[in-house]
Amino acid sequence: MKLAVVLSLLAVSTAPALSAEVANPNDTARILAGLPVAADSPLAPLANDSAWQAHASRFNSMFGEEDHSHLSHVRAFAKERLGPTHDTLFYFFSGPDALHAVALFPNASTYVMAGLEPPGNIPPLNSLSKATLSRTERGMEVALGNLMKLSYFITKNMSNQLRPGPVYGTLPVIYIFLTRSGATIHETTFVSLDNAGNEIPGEPNQKSTAKGVKVVFSLDGGAKKTLYYFSTDLSNGGVKNSGFLAFCEKQGVGSNADAFVKSASYLLHGGNFSTVRSFLLDHTASILQDDTGIPVSFFDRAKWQPQPFGHYTRPIAVFSHNYQPKLAELYHKGNPIPIDFGLGYHWRVNQSSLLLVQRKTAEPRAN
């Protein structure tokens, strides 16, 4: 995705701060997302600025179109085809994509997301100059406009998109996606993990190899949920001592967990990511994935029931060697159910594939 301009638009300004009064995380998220805040919020004056109003208008149009053409179809698919999902969702290789996590698994109570991108930070928005805030808002529009068009981030561009600025990293994107999904954000905490998978609250522990954020939120006035995002290396060497998989085990596994894999650069096809591949196979009740997820040959048909959706086509050119003849055979013989939205690298409608693989000992889903 063509997002290289984003952090150049998030450069630090030396202009005077507007205010030092700290707003709550929900108001911060709403301003970034182009949504109004209460009149008594410390950030209410920002919404009177013409640049912010233009930002809000562009985001309203962008997310309105995204909901109409894509997310409404994703939510309908989830409701009709996934049935009752479980308490915990593991979304590895996710980047900041809270948008699809919530759209597909709105009933989860805990979301565990992970990628290489830094969690970042958001300073008080009313401490930024108008020019800096305007550049930040415009940068997010460019970044997320491309993301929503293609439905994925290109990993090699991530360091440019999310490199340090006054507002940087995955956290502001997560805030925007959650808020535009109807969420109220109640609390945000930086966390790190020790090698036993225990949370260490506070500013990231520099010795930790799994640093992240914990966001407590609710959807449409419902029960509180928790989203974790960790910046961590998911390769075999990376997870060996990071504590990340030990942490995941504490969140509820087996019959209480689902997994989602999308646009994962086919990393789960290779031997260098066999540890997280085995974790997902051993600790989930179901896995929803595009063809970049776990190769179908790793699913024991005595234990797993696959249901294909959409159309399986050859991987895009850069990943052409990851073609799966067994997956093609499954689509040929397995009565794939059409889907009316695009997802992943084959993001155009009628070109995407999704595979729902359910553990046979788990409670069956509605199809």
pLDDT at residue 10, as a whole number: 36
Q: Reduced to 3 states, what is the DSSP secondary structure of residue 127?
A: helix
pLDDT at residue 21, as a whole number: 75
Q: Which two tokens stand for residue 167?
A: 């507002």
d(CA 119, CA 123): 13
Mean pLDDT for back-to-back runs of 10 residues, the chain (367 residues): 34 39 93 96 96 96 94 96 92 95 96 94 93 88 74 53 74 96 97 95 83 96 96 97 96 85 96 97 96 97 96 93 96 94 86 94 52
pLDDT at residue 55, as a whole number: 96
pLDDT at residue 348, as a whole number: 80
Which of 152, 154, 180 shows the shortest CA–CA distance to 33?
Answer: 180
Q: Which two tokens stand for residue 142?
A: 């460019």
Q: Which two tokens stand for residue 341?
A: 């939205």
Largest CA distance in the chain: 65
pLDDT at residue 13, as a whole number: 32
Strand order in 353-359's β-sheet? 199-201, 183-193, 210-219, 224-232, 110-115, 88-92, 257-261, 286-289, 353-359, 304-310
Q: Which two tokens stand for residue 96?
A: 């900041």
Q: Which two tokens stand for residue 60?
A: 């309203």
pLDDT at residue 12, as a whole number: 32
pLDDT at residue 7, as a whole number: 31
pLDDT at residue 8, as a whole number: 35
Sign, Cα dihedral of 133, 137, 140, 146: negative
d(CA 300, CA 140): 43
Q: State the Cα angle at 355 between 351 and 357, rounded to 5°.
A: 175
| Measured CA distances, 63 to 243, 366, 367 (Å) | 36, 30, 29
Which residues lie below 8 Å from residue 275, measured CB to CB, with a gap of 6+? 236, 239, 240, 245
pLDDT at residue 141, as a whole number: 86
Which of 234, 256, 270 shows the shortest CA–CA distance to 95?
Answer: 234
Sign, Cα dihedral of 200, 186, 218, 137: negative
Q: Kindly provide the residue ranges of all beta strands, DSSP E only, lying in the chain, ordered along the sequence.
A: 88-92, 110-115, 183-193, 199-201, 210-219, 224-232, 257-261, 286-289, 304-310, 353-359
Q: Give the H/E segment covering residue 103.
A: helix 98-104
pLDDT at residue 247, as a whole number: 97
d(CA 255, CA 251): 12
- Check: pTM over 0.85? Answer yes or no: yes
Which of 360, 323, 3 shows the shortest CA–CA distance to 173?
Answer: 3
Which residues lie below 8 Å from residue 222, measured CB to CB, with a gap of 6+? none
CA atoms within 13 A on the CB side of 274: 4
